[in-house]
Structure 1
Amino acid sequence: MKDLYNHDPLTLKLSLREKYSYGMGDFGSNLMLCIGTLYLLKFYTDELGMPAFYGGIIFLVAKFFTAFTDMFTGVLLDSRRNIGKEGKFRPFILYASVPVALVATAQFITNDFNLTVKTALATVLFMMFGLFYSLMNCSYGAMVPAITKNPHERAQLAAWRQGGATIGLLLCTVAFMPIQALFSGSSSLGYFVSALIFATCGLFCMWRCYSGVKERYVEIPPESHKPSILQSFYAIFRNPPLLVLCIANLCTLAAFNIKLAIQVYYTQYVLNDIHLLSWMGFFSMGCILIGVFLVPKAVKLFGKKQVYLGGLTLWAVGDVLNFLWGSSSLSFVLFSCMAFFGTAFVNSLNWALVPDTVDYGEWKTGIRTEGAVYTGYTFSRKISAALAGFLPGIMLTQIGYIPNAIQNSATLLGLRQLIFIWPCVLAIIAALTMGLFYKLNEERFALIIEEIDKRKKNNMSEHGLDENKTSVITI
């Protein structure tokens, strides 16, 4: 380790290789996560024979549990002081990815137990997946401030991350069910083989991320700083930009996950073409990729907040058009492409804005806690995911969904409302929240970084150190 860093961190440029490696992290994690987000509820209802209500309860309980495991991960990260050459965050990416892949696969194993045991086993497996996924993914996300302080490079990393996530989601959408369908004689075996393939690929991608990124600004908190789960809650409520971002993200992630969970039912029962899911995924996720690549340029021209609001507007308009005129396969795909194009800007900037709130928290409190801020933020995401998993299960029961049967008109209308109206309303709430209450713009952020650097230089001068050196540890 060295404690010397002589160039301006705000102008540091990352290599294309490192950005690619970072993007591979969310590509790999989404290969393992999205198979559950997209198909686990359908596996529960159609293969394990569970009522949709039970599937919703499993999602609710497990996601609430993993919301608190995120907090635990934040405490663990901010407590680390004996940091080796691997860095503060990278070891968790390497080692936690193995149990994530194993449990992601195990969730798609069928059994002949009674309903109570099936439900208990599914809940425990989902909770285990959430625990290990928290250790892996929270470390991955919290690592950004340690990689670069350049806000434009952070936007680039967020774009690469969202690009990786989108390609992972695209592959899950396009390829999972066709692989599963190859085992027409045993659909349950098809689910298991598909899950095994995606989890294995995800594992190798996480290892590629570990080997390709570098932590440059690893800061060790003072001995007086004692991290706790309460610190993560404090990190939210003492940090206004983070609080606003959490509320907006609560809405957008719930909307996005509800849409993903219901689309497999919508294509099968409303449009009567389950194979359309692959084509829809190909085109809509392609639109997301285009949007992701446009994010850095759009942010440079208009600023993060304006681009974020523009994405929400496209999202809401696309859903409204789909509800009114999306009754055919072609119109459904076209309007979905518009909505998903808007989500590209929203989901990318969710990650680009979090590191800015880390710096805001350091400016306000004098203590840098990437783990507490990031896991405080992901707590809201897990609560959102819990609701997004719970509500479709409950609503499928309420609208009278019957697995593998022709649905009545009321059920079909309920599916249309679930996939379009609910996400649209949540997107509008998020837009109002960000538009009215998020005040951390680019100009203010630059002033905050400048003041933080001045504080560090003054502190080093008081201790007789070279003012040209920073207080970070360079690995």
Structure 2
Amino acid sequence: MNRNADPLTLKLSLREKCAYGMGDFGSNLMLCIGTLYLLKFYTDELGMPAFYGGVIFLVAKFFTAFTDMLTGVLLDSRRNIGENGKFRPFILYASVPVALVATAQFMANDFSLTVKTAIATVLFMMFGLFYSLMNCSYGAMVPAITKNPDERAQLAAWRQGGATLGLLLCTVGFMPVQSLFNANPSQGYFFAALLFALCGLLCMWWCYNGVQERYVEVTPEHHKPSMIKSFCAIFRNPPLLVLCIANLCTLAAFNIKLAIQVYYTQYVLNDIHLLSWMGFFSMGCILIGVFLVPGAVKRFGKKQVYLGGLTLWATGDVLNFLWGSSSLMFVFFSCMAFFGTAFVNSLNWALVPDTVDYGEWKTGIRTEGSVYTGYTFSRKISAALAGFLPGIMLTQIGYVPNTLQSATTLLGLRQLIFLWPCGLAIIAALTMGFFYKLNEKRFAFIIEEISTRKNKSCQQSATNTENKASAVTL
């Protein structure tokens, strides 16, 4: 590959795109087992009230929101960057404790409720800390891989494809593995978590070996990164702020849907095994959507495709609430909604590198770590709310584990899985539609101006060097 080629036209190999996608496949294998099943493990195996599970998610996710900020500070503070790059070493080394803690979270114990809650909270916080080091580095690496906006969109599609496959495998495969241990369900949870975490670890190492950082830039000495600057990076970068608000809504909606679907299939549709089939078809629809993202972006632009995905998502949820009482219709309308999420979730990652370039254009300082972790801060706050609300709402609607639920509880489950995500998707659409102004034409202008500035700076430096040499000669 020609390193001297125009950065805006440089093409990545299929092998490298695949390796990058495997990174989110692996990280989602380790993340989604917690997103999908940890609350149910707390309530059904550890005997915790759903409220306790919600509080654990809230506390731990708020903690990891700030660890994301610390990761950004750490990344932007790096000065002596070796041949492995600025971001890749964190993918290699942090993935090991992520896998260990992801497994440990599913270890049953007979301690008191207070001790169980404390252990679960600490483990979840540790998972968030190491996951921040691994995943924030993985995401912030995109601007260092390529400057080509089309290639960035493709990397985002490969990333979302990997994430979708990871989510699909967790949705379809976790409970069947767990059910192999019918005599000891707690042991089944632990074995399934161990299996998925090990596979996730191997995929992260695949990503480390397969990607290349071509445009590594060291943050200037006079710019000292800090958590405050990472936080302020959101508010000084209007496109990033709008994206954070929209993502706050979409991620909360998506995670609420994932957390409640296991309860919905078991108690509303009376068929928990339907979860695997629903996951297979709906995640398959997400994969189809992911493959369509690059072509749709080329034809319509990122913003229009993003809004189209939100429209499909909200429509699918409304139809499911009205007519999704049978297994067939539930799967059908869920496929429509998840197909829409493919465009939204893919473009969330494709838009972030654009805001990095916008920040450099506006301030003259390139800080991938601060921008990316400022963005992931909003995602973790969203995840905190998405973990907290289902636990609180399950308590409010009168959920009791492993028993026949009342009509009020069943209605509450339907509202939680459909109406809440639909409302949040509509808010995200309004936010992006009215306030996101960084379109393709403006982005091309920004990249061109940044290149012009750098060329002028290099010419000025060369001129100054020549003048100094002439002065010495004289």
> After TM superposition, is the score higher than 0.5?
yes
Q: Shift in Å at residue 261 of structure 1?
A: 0.1
Distance 2:361 2:3 in 1: 21
Which stretches of structure 1, 4 residues or more, deviate above 3 A after TM superposition? none
Cα offset, 1:233, TM superposition: 1.1
Partner of 2:358: 360
Normalised to the residue count of structure 1, the TM-score between the two structures is: 0.97
Counterpart residue identity of residue 220, structure 2: P
**Residue 142 of structure 2: aligned partner:** 144
- 1:33 paired with 2:4, answer no
Aligned to 1:88: 86
- Distance in 2, matches of 1:242 and 1:384, equals 16
Per-residue CA deviations over 1:124-176 (Å, capped at 9, x if unaligned) read: 00000000000000000000000000000000000000000000000000000
How far apart are residue 212 of structure 1 and its match? 0.1
Task: Show the 5 A alignment for 1:119-268.
Answer: 119-268=117-266
* Counterpart residue identity of residue 188, structure 2: G
Partner of residue 471, structure 1: none
Q: Partners of 2:26 and 2:208 in 1: how far apart?
A: 11
Matches of 1:433 and 1:307, distance apart in 2: 15
Q: How many Å separate the matches in 1 of 2:218 and 2:246?
A: 31
**CA–CA separation in structure 2 for the residues paired with 1:401 and 1:234:** 41
Distance 1:234 1:51 in 2: 38
Structure 2 CA distance for aligned equivalents of residues 223 and 291 of structure 1: 43
Q: Structure 1: which 5+ runs fail to align?
A: 467-475
2:276 counterpart of 1:275: no
Question: In the TM superposition, what is the alpha-carbon distance from 1:5 to its structure 2 partner?
Answer: 5.0
Tell me if 1:19 matches 2:17. yes
Rounded to whole Å, the distance in 1 between the matches of 2:76 and 2:221 is: 11
Opposite residue 186 of structure 2, the aligned amino acid is S
Residue 317 of structure 1 aligns with an amino acid whose one-letter code is T
- Residue 468 (structure 2) aligns with: none
How far apart, CA to CA, are the structure 2 residues paired with 1:232 and 1:244? Answer: 16
Matched with 1:337 is 335
Amino acid at match of 1:89: F
State the TM-score, normalizing by the size of structure 2: 0.97
Give how far 1:200 is off. 0.0
In structure 2, relative to structure 1, the CA distance for the partners of 1:226 and 1:172 (3 Å cut) is: same
Stretches of structure 2 that go unaligned for 5 or more consecutive residues are 465-474
CA distance in 2, matches of 1:43, 1:219: 44
- Partner residue in 2 for 1:299: 297
Q: Deviations over 1:310-361 (max 9, x none)?
A: 0000000000000000000000000000000000000000000000000000
Give CA-to-partner distance per residue, 1:205-259, whole Å, 9 cap, x none: 0000000000000001111010000111111000000000000000000000000
CA distance in 2, matches of 1:250, 1:430: 8
CA distance in 1: counterparts of 2:148 and 2:3, whole angstroms: 15
1:458 aligns with 2:427: no
Q: How far apart in 2 are the matches of 1:411 and 1:341?
A: 28
Q: Which amino acid aligns with 1:103?
A: V
Q: SS where residue 463 of structure 1 aligns?
A: helix
The letter for the 2-side match of 1:428 is: I
